[in-house]
Amino acid sequence: MLNHILKGMVCVCLLTGIAADTYAQKNIINQLRSEAARHKNDTAGVEPLRQLSLQLQATRPDSALIYAQQGLELARKFSFKKGEADCMNRLGVVLWKNGKYDQALSFLLNSLKIREEINDRLGILKSLSDIGIIYSDQLDNVKALSYHFKAKAVAEELHETARLGIILANIGNCYIKLNKVDSALNYEMQAYAIKQTLKDTATMPNTLSILGDINYKMGHTALALDYYRVSISYAAKVNDQNSLADSYNSVAQLYKQKGMADSSIYYATLALNAAKAALYPEGIFHASNLLTDVYRGKNEHLELLYLKTALAAKDSMFNAEKIKQIQTLSFNEAARQEEIAEEKHREEEARIINLQMVGIAVFIPTFFLVVLLLSKSRTHRKVIEFMSVLCLLLAFEFLTLFIHPFVQRLSNHLPVLELVILVCLASVLVPFHHKLTHFMHERLVHGHKPQLPTATAAVPSPEKKGNNPPAAKRKPA
């Protein structure tokens, strides 16, 4: 009797919490709608529309798509690049949730391009992370990891701890799909620690579900079940139908492996209902495929029914046309990234060249001052002459080097036209060079008068007595 009372109290508490969350969400949605209506003719209306799409994506994906599209149109109307990129990213996420991977990837890649152009680092982080998820769902986990690790670097740069937790969880999910259990556990535990610290209940269900998958792969069945159950509890509280579908599918698969068909059917059915409520094709495919296997040879009608459902879901995600579109988008993005890398390389080379030019421009006047100072000292005339000529050569060659890129652009790299321009410049510079050389020679070299040692004046020695010449005889007057 006491157990029934306790269970009833727990149910009441859960229902009360869900009702309170639902009321709070409705209040937020009404406020966002009012704000969007108030700013329907300016850029301030873009963010409320994007937020409306975010609030409704789990329960009403069609409305989420409409609001994101309205935000995109409003942003484009006023050439609001950041708003345009944000709404494109939002559209990509909603389409991804609905299994339309080709369209989702197109929106996300275009969003990334705009964000790179305006240097929106936080936006770049979001786009990289979401693109990684698309590739992971398309079973290209190696490419997915390349995007997730780029996103991780940006998150660490911006100190975005909450987003770092999400990215680490996605990295762990990619590694478990690649069957690298140790790496998966390492990253997933890092994500779990961050989310525990931040009390992030919104994204916790996904991390707990992945930890369940990891422990199941490691053979820790009981621990895996515990993780799945806690994940289901969190997901139910925040009404995350996608995470509910994933966790229910994992539990159903676990019970199927243990030979507990009834339990497997029960949880697979729950997974299918949650996935249908969220319009989540991947969840629908896994649940219906599992139910097809369970009913095979036991109930032909249900087997055929679930097989058709599984095939329809698979076709919506992986048909040949969509795969081809995704491959084309991936190729174009790879080419764009190569162009960006080449542009960065060219910019780095140009920066090095500019630094060298600045260094030369500083060195030549300094060298001239040194020559000028030496010309006032006792330095040998030939040294001064050599250094003055060298200074002039450096100055004129630097001038030629500086002018040459402009000449190339002016001549459009046509050799004949370039030659004509250089000859015209030489006709001006060469005479000027000769005049300046003559000036330097006259002022610095000929004007250079080295001081000679002062000669000591000869002092006549005193005459000795007896050695004086005889005095001239004077005649008497």
Residues 237, 284: one domain? Answer: yes
- The model carries a pTM of 0.67
pLDDT at 127: 95
Average pLDDT estimate for 78-106: 90
Count CB neighbours of 55 within 10 A. 18
Q: Tell me the torsion sign for CA atoms 421, 424, 426, 428.
A: negative
Average pLDDT estimate for 161-168: 94
Average pLDDT estimate for 330-335: 71
Residues 216, 308: one domain? Answer: yes
Per-residue CA distances from 392 to 33, 378, 427, 428, 431 (Å): 73, 22, 17, 15, 13
Residue 460 has pLDDT above 60, yes or no: no
pLDDT at 475: 45
In a domain, 393, yes or no: yes
Residues 216, 294: one domain? Answer: yes
In a domain, 111, yes or no: no
Instruction: Give helix 181-198 / helix 161-177 axis angle, nearest 10°.
Output: 160
Q: Does residue 465 sit in helix, strand or coil?
A: coil
Per-residue CA distances from 192 to 85, 158, 315 (Å): 30, 20, 34
pLDDT at 434: 66
Residues 247, 312: one domain? Answer: yes
Residues 280, 364: one domain? Answer: no
**Amino acid, single-letter form, for residue 344:** K
pLDDT at 4: 45
| Residues 407/424, Cβ–Cβ less than 8 Å | no
In a domain, 342, yes or no: no
Reported as a pLDDT band with limits 50, 70 and 90, residue 319 is low
In a domain, 412, yes or no: yes
Terminal-residue alpha carbon distance, the chain: 176
**Residue-wise pLDDT tens digits, 46-84:** 999 999 998 888 778 888 889 999 999 999 999 999 999
**Calculated CA dihedral for residues 103, 104, 108, 114, nearest 10 degrees:** 40
Reported as a pLDDT band with limits 50, 70 and 90, residue 357 is confident
Residues 217, 282: one domain? Answer: yes
Residue 444 has pLDDT above 70, yes or no: no
**Which of 296, 318, 340 is where one domain is finished?**
318
Alpha carbon distance 144, 19 (integer Å): 38
**Amino acid, single-letter form, for residue 136:** S
Residues 359, 438: one domain? Answer: yes
Residue span of the structural domain in which 303 resides: 210-318
Reading the block at residue 136, the tokens are 């992971």
Tell which wins on pLDDT, 30 or 435: 30
pLDDT at 172: 95
Residues 295, 366: one domain? Answer: no
Alpha carbon distance 97, 65 (integer Å): 11
Cβ contacts of 454 within 8 Å, gap of 6 or more: none
pLDDT at 246: 93
Residues 391, 314: one domain? Answer: no
In a domain, 220, yes or no: yes
The distance of Cα 285 from the centroid of its chain, to the nearest Å, equals 33
Work out the mean pLDDT of the chain and round it to a whole number. 82
Residues 376, 302: one domain? Answer: no
In a domain, 241, yes or no: yes
Least confident of 49-58, 109-118, 138-147, 388-397: 388-397
In a domain, 281, yes or no: yes
Alpha carbon distance 433, 431 (integer Å): 5
pLDDT at 2: 37
Reading the block at residue 450, the tokens are 């080295």
Residues 310, 363: one domain? Answer: no
Backbone φ and ψ for 360, nearest 5 degrees, come out as -65, -45
Q: How many domains does the chain have?
A: 2
DSSP 468: S
Residues 383, 442: one domain? Answer: yes
In a domain, 359, yes or no: yes
Domain of residue 278, CATH code = 1.25.40.10
